[in-house]
Structure 1
Amino acid sequence: MLKRHSPDVVIIGAGVVGAACAYYAACAGLSVAVVDRGPVAGGTTGAGEGNLLVSDKEAGPELDLALLSAGLWNELAAALPQEIEYEPKGGLVVAPDQASLEALRRFAEGQRKAGVEAAEAAAEDLRDLEPHLAPGLAGGFHYPQDAQVQPAQAAARLLAASGAEVHLGEEVTDILLDAAGAVRGVRTPRRELLAPSVVNAAGTWGGRIASLAGVGLPVLPRRGFVLVTEPLPRVVRHKVYAADYIADVASGSAALQSSAVVEGTPSGPVLIGATRERVGFDRTLSTEALRRLASQAAALFPVLADVRVLRTYHGFRPYLPDHLPAIGPDPRRPGLLHACGHEGAGIGLAPATGALIAAALTGTAPPVDPLPFRPARFGEAADEPPAGERPPTPPRRTP
């Protein structure tokens, strides 16, 4: 027999975005239920590095969201226990030649006008910031607002702090609608959660959840790999990457792209990302992707050339064609809100996303302009993704 519960809002997804939505909705006085077909942080969040970046975003709506989030992460770090491993380490973007450095100058100038702190570092000053950097670089920019968290811990702590009723290992099989076509809750094999609002925070599964409600949202998976080294002394102080990483982030190419992002961690291992490719939900290990990452990391930090890689992992970023997340109410289905499609920036943008969702749920003033993130911008019926890029239909679970 199905159990019935009636919170104010049901959030589908227990990753860091769903957890942030739960936290800020609860802070706004709403009762919250969270449901996920897997564990907390079992999808994209658990495969992330924990990047909280402003350095890779050009002036515009996403940067506005990132700056809001940067301030909120600071507040959360003070409010939540230390287990989230918040580290305001700052970022360093380096240029291999003068042409790249000039492009970084133009990029940083636009960011500064939006409120980003960006300080140019001359070639001779780079080694003061990162003593183990390769010689011969033309210069770079230091971004003190870049930071990092441990993403799975952050999701778990936000969920716990929200006081939400959490249902894990339960796949949402239906979005419940009333006679007028408005959302009235969700169904899993074990229960019905009745609520006037449902938030789709299902990450790469966001398109499938939208389809359960009868609307289109063209979320596609974009695979990425990370290398994890043996524990080391703190040989990398900041989050360090080359200028071409910014172009990779903005690209819509389906082909393999790689640009090393190198960072130390409090526990010792160095994390090395990042690759991007659209190969659907293919979990095959790509030796070419790993080879590129290792080579590019050693080019930035020669000290890493002989360091052992203990493991690799990969995940799927929830990609939308215009590189902006879908956040807010969906006018095509009253009561449905979306909080997905953040691609590789979901951890960094999670608090601002949660704040926007809470504002929409309570009818209060949004903290940033929500218009660029409106879910219906893709049209009444979003194109069906290619067969290889659709989320596989999971087997139905019995109660």
Structure 2
Amino acid sequence: MKLILISLMLCLVACQPVQKKEENSSAYLPISAINIEVAKGFNIVETDSTFKMIIHSLSPKYQFEDSLVFPKKSLKKPFKHLINPIERIACQSSTHLIFINALNNTQKVKGISEMQYMPKDSLYQVLESNHVVEINKNGEANIEKLLAIHPDVFLVYPFEWQSDRFKKVNIKTLLVSEYMETTPLGRLEWIKFFGILLNESEKAATIFKEKSRKYEALVVPVDTSETIFFNLPFNDTWDMPAPNSISGNLLKDAGYQYIYANLGEGANDNLVQSKEKVWLDAMNAKYWLIIANRPQGYSLADLKQEETIYKEFKAVKDKKVIFCNTGYSPYFTQGIIAPDEMLKELLEIKSQGVDYAGVYFRYLK
């Protein structure tokens, strides 16, 4: 992709033109180079007067678009500006926080949703010591708490983005949809998006380059004998990730043969099966990967108690149930920017015994 050299002012395009420019114009944001390699959810388009970074949907079922504009020169058309450098950020998701933390800008986070569900690790302790506010209330952002921390920008998911609630109280939002990427490296490359936002583009590019180099060096061809399936049922249905998804491609790159590799085209459309069908399809799979929140010490015996039929599964009999306890591992936090480490563990565990225990994955025993 064409290398784009820019040293420009950071602006957020207003949905409607404002009547006059804001008094506080943005400072200049030096960006040495932007080269989007594998991410599909954002890209950069050049016009005569601007560079525009466009954030867009990767799902045909749900369309959205947002953009950041970097003027090459003074523009006559007014824009609603993000103050740069950005000093106060609110995040709808802890995944946003992980990118920000990797760029050493955690001190700028003033509010976050669902903080109570985060692992109680060192990052959580930093948030507590910084008196970061929990901005979630009954499943949606609490306007009063947002106004109290007066963020320069509120990073949101698409389902909150078009809410008039934020516009009415002048809370500036920016869409982030890294979770819709189809590959681990595609999601990782969103660190460049955050690098632009935080004036840390060079650092972001360095992190991506190093992590992607390590990841690509580990990728192996699929071994059709290494069959695997995902997760656990909920009531009478069994949801698994689509094969062309972050999780599906992570397993593929580790050489596993996903039993539903030929089903589902949409990257973000989970495969929903009846649990009876999965029992039949997965009974003889060599591995079973469970990514779930369970009590510490969750065991193979606990799994068998959930459904008596599980004891008939080959993966259970052979003690090849790979488990990621999301309540205690950093799978949904640090793992987002460490796909190389997760890939390494998924490769290692195949040749290890039941006592193998990585940061992300272990065998149930």
Q: With structure 2 as the length reference, what TM-score do the two structures score?
A: 0.25
Higher relative CO (Cα under 8 Å, sequence separation at least 6) belongs to 1
The TM-score, its normalising length taken from structure 1, stands at 0.24
Instruction: Tell which structure's C-alpha radius of gyration is larger.
Output: 2
